[in-house]
Amino acid sequence: MLKLAAITVDGEPRLAFVEGERFRLLPRSMPDIQAAIVQGAEALERLAAEAGLETIGFDERLLRAPRTGTQRDILCAGWNYWDHFEEGRGRRDGQEVERPEHPTFFTKGPETMIGPLDPVAFDDRISQKWDYEVEVALIIGKDGRNIPEEQALDHVFGYCLANDISQRDLQRAHGGQWLKGKSIDGTMPFGPYVTLAKGVDPAAIEIECVLNGETVQSASTQLMAFSVARLIAELSFGMTLRAGDVLLTGTPAGVGNARTPPLFLKDGDEVVCRSAQLGVLRNRISRMDLSTPTAR
The rounded distance, in Å, linking the Cα atoms of 185 and 114 is 9
Q: Within a domain: residue 176? A: yes
Given a cut of 80, whether residue 95 has pLDDT beyond it is no
**Residue 261 CA: distances (Å) to CA of 128, 193, 201:** 14, 35, 36
Q: Are residues 184 and 54 in the same domain?
A: no
Specify whether the backbone of 272 is left (phi greater than 0), alpha (psi in -120 to 50) or beta.
Answer: beta
The rounded distance, in Å, linking the Cα atoms of 213 and 249 is 25
- Pairing status of strand 113-114 against strand 104-108: unpaired
Q: Within a domain: residue 163? A: yes
Q: Are residues 29 and 98 in the same domain?
A: no
The rounded distance, in Å, linking the Cα atoms of 192 and 166 is 20
Q: Are residues 47 and 87 in the same domain?
A: no
Q: Which helix (H) or strand (E) holds 4?
A: strand 3-9
Q: Within a domain: residue 139? A: yes
Domain boundary among 29, 62, 95: 62
Per-residue pLDDT averaged across 209-237, rounded? 98
Query: What percentage of the chain reaches a pLDDT higher than 70?
Result: 97
70 against 3, higher pLDDT: 3
CATH at residue 164 = 3.90.850.10
Instruction: For the sheet with 214-220, list strands across it.
Output: 120-122, 279-287, 270-275, 206-211, 214-220
Are 250 and 198 spatial neighbours (Cβ–Cβ below 8 Å)? Answer: no
Q: Are residues 143 and 276 in the same domain?
A: yes
Q: Within a domain: residue 267? A: yes
Strand partners, 127: none
Closest residue by Cα to residue 282 from 208, 206, 195: 208
Q: Within a domain: residue 219? A: yes
Per-residue pLDDT averaged across 97-106, rounded? 90
Number of domains within the chain: 2
Confidence of residue 175 (pLDDT cuts 50, 70, 90): confident
Q: Are residues 52 and 87 in the same domain?
A: no
58-69 pLDDT, tens digit per residue, is: 999 999 999 999
**Residue 122 CA: distances (Å) to CA of 187, 248, 263, 288:** 8, 22, 15, 6
How many CA atoms, within 13 angstroms, populate the side-chain half-sphere of residue 5? Answer: 26
Q: Are residues 198 and 84 in the same domain?
A: yes
Q: Within a domain: residue 258? A: yes
Domain boundary among 23, 38, 62: 62
Mean pLDDT of the chain: 95
pLDDT score recorded for residue 91: 65
Q: Are residues 37 and 119 in the same domain?
A: no
Closest residue by Cα to residue 194 from 35, 72, 12: 35
pLDDT score recorded for residue 92: 62
65-85 pLDDT, tens digit per residue, is: 999 998 899 999 999 999 988
pLDDT score recorded for residue 296: 64
Question: Please, is 31 exposed, middle or buried when counting C-beta atoms within 10 Å of its C-beta (0-12, 13-18, 19+)?
Answer: middle
Confidence of residue 135 (pLDDT cuts 50, 70, 90): very high
Phi, psi dihedrals of residue 26, rounded to the nearest 5°: -80, 160
193-205 pLDDT, tens digit per residue, is: 999 999 999 999 9
pLDDT score recorded for residue 97: 74
Residue 142 domain boundaries: 74-287
Q: Within a domain: residue 273? A: yes
Q: Are residues 188 and 147 in the same domain?
A: yes
Q: Are residues 150 and 56 in the same domain?
A: no
- Pairing status of strand 279-287 against strand 120-122: parallel
Which residue type is seen at 251?
Answer: T
Q: Are residues 93 and 167 in the same domain?
A: yes
Rg of the chain's alpha carbons, rounded to an integer?
19
177 against 284, higher pLDDT: 284
Given a cut of 70, whether residue 90 has pLDDT beyond it is no
Count the neighbouring beta carbons within 10 Å of the beta carbon of residue 182: 26
Q: Are residues 50 and 80 in the same domain?
A: no
Q: Within a domain: residue 101? A: yes
pLDDT score recorded for residue 60: 97
Strand partners, 156: 140
Q: Are residues 114 and 210 in the same domain?
A: yes
Task: Read off the pTM.
Answer: 0.96
